[in-house]
Amino acid sequence: MKSDYIQTTTCQERRKDPIEMFHSGQLVKICAPMVRYSKLSFRTLVRKYDCDLCYTPMIVAADFVRSAKARDSEFTTNQGDCPLIVQFAANDARLLSDAARIVCPYANGIDINCGCPQRWALAEGYGACLINKPELVRDMVKQVRNQVENPRFSVSIKIRIHDDLTRTVDLCRKAEATGVSWITVHGRTVEERHQPVHYEAIKIIKESMSIPIVANGDIRSLKEAENVWHTTGTDGKK
């Protein structure tokens, strides 16, 4: 987080609550976190094409907190880079809340990655393994809520689905009760990679929840986003 970027991050859009977008009744177009791609220059480009909300690439919270070099490398922003969600990989509530406090002045919220299926992430206790650890997800969300003073600062999660969808619905309900702002659902299991996305599963999750649900997976065009929006009834697409 270089100082020349930090000094220019005051933005009217920072005051805009992404939750208000989800309750607008309109399709919310979201740029998903993509490894190596979703950095400032890419976010600046997609915003010119009416992207409503952007995510950073996934950042390992522990490294971000402990290393100034990691912060400078992994997170840069500017005045026009908003609204913005910073996605973290985390397995420790204290470290995640410390990371959230660092980015709070420069972003609209954080997202906890509970969906990454990469082997290194699973081995470190990050990503998709967290869908089987609802108590840890609860603790991380609560810790961020307790440590970040801004009540408009969002805390969301991104998940994959279980083979038994009732487990996913149960996870989402527990997350909602903990105070999660919204949930992004990638409509594949941890083991699935290129198989068709289970949009019907996302629809069932949406129908079971009160908070906004964002659909994710194989959405490559605005037309596909509109089709998935109508199919699933969700609040956003990325």
Catalytic residue among 31, 104, 114, 116: 116
Residues 6+ away with beta carbon under 8 Å from 81 = 9, 11, 40, 43, 44, 47, 54
> Bridge-partner residues for 185, per DSSP?
159, 215
What whole-number distance in Å separates Cα of residue 113 and Cα of residue 59? 9
The residue type found at 83 is P
What's phi and psi for 154, nearest 5 deg? -85, 150
Tokens of 226: 């509109």
- Going by C-alpha positions, the residue among 69, 68, 118, 67 that lies closest to residue 89 is 118
Residue 116 known to be catalytic: yes
Beta-carbon neighbour count of residue 163 at 10 Å?
10
Catalytic residues: 116
